[in-house]
Chain A
Amino acid sequence: SQKIEQNSEALNIQEGKTATLTCNYTNYSPAYLQWYRQDPGRGPVFLLLIRENEKEKRKERLKVTFDTTLKQSLFHITASQPADSATYLCALDSSNTGKLIFGQGTTLQVKP
């Protein structure tokens, strides 16, 4: 069956460290994968999109990798700050039809 999995356990790190979040998928062949941030009581906010022919994408302190062989995406936040504390969701569109399938999200807590 098709699955998209993120680490359900919260990730707690110290301010200044690099946070790494994982997104694994099975039985999908996505054209691209997206990462969103969601704060409590609010809608998700788009962060980065990476296409199947791209290995890595960067935006300021954020970096995403996409390994279609391992069927995995890694999301990194360098020099993390308490303001980065939120839930991070990965999403993929396997059929390029706009139907996004989301992972359950990983909650990141950055401690000062």
Chain B
Amino acid sequence: KAGVTQTPRYLIKTRGQQVTLSCSPISGHRSVSWYQQTPGQGLQFLFEYFSETQRNKGNFPGRFSGRQFSNSRSEMNVSTLELGDSALYLCASTSSLTYNEQFFGPGTRLTVL
């Protein structure tokens, strides 16, 4: 089975721009979660989607949004980028409704200049 894939792997943007990151979960997994990882704050939960519906949301501003498609692929969007948005963005998929192990992708390293 192929693992979780994320594209692009690296991205450089400037302040004020917007960015879209993509995540393809493991085949058959319907839940996709997104996390932001920074040296100062660690891994922080952004949101989780299941069957195209956002089920959970973390404490991030509205500039961070996401969606999930019928094939379970997910995208997250960050608008009006700020320097502090520089981070590793990770997505994870899980197979069951009972929240067991999450399978993480390699992440997208976003640098905002």
* Interface residues in chain A, defined as those with a beta carbon under 8 Å from any beta carbon in chain B: 32, 34, 36, 41-46, 49, 89, 91, 93, 96-105
The verdict on A43 contacting B42 (CB below 8 Å), with A98-B33, A98-B48 known, is no
Number of B residues near A (Cβ < 8 Å) is: 26
Q: How far is it, in angstroms, between the C-alpha of A97 and the C-alpha of B43 when the chains are bound?
A: 17
Check B92 against A97 for contact (C-beta < 8 Å): no
The yes or no answer to B64 lying at the interface (CB within 8 A) is no
Q: How far is the CB of A46 from chain B (nearest CB, A)?
A: 4
Check A105 against B42 for contact (C-beta < 8 Å): yes
Q: How far is it, in angstroms, between the C-alpha of A50 and the C-alpha of B92 when the chains are bound?
A: 19
Check B103 against A46 for contact (C-beta < 8 Å): yes
List residues of chain A with CB within 8 A of the CB of B102.
Answer: 34, 46, 100
Check B33 against A44 for contact (C-beta < 8 Å): no
**In the complex, which residues 32-85 of chain B have their Cβ closer than 8 Å to any Cβ of chain A?**
33, 35, 42-45, 48, 50, 55-56, 58
List residues of chain B with CB within 8 A of the CB of A45.
Answer: 104
Q: How far is the CB of A32 from chain B (nearest CB, A)?
A: 8
The yes or no answer to B107 lying at the interface (CB within 8 A) is yes
List residues of chain B with CB within 8 A of the CB of A100.
Answer: 33, 45, 102
Check B55 against A98 for contact (C-beta < 8 Å): yes
Question: Given contacts A36-B104, A44-B43, A102-B35, could you give 17 more A-B pairs where the C-beta distance is less than 8 Å?
Answer: A34-B102, A41-B106, A42-B106, A43-B92, A43-B106, A44-B90, A45-B104, A49-B101, A89-B43, A91-B43, A96-B98, A98-B48, A98-B55, A98-B94, A98-B99, A99-B48, A104-B42
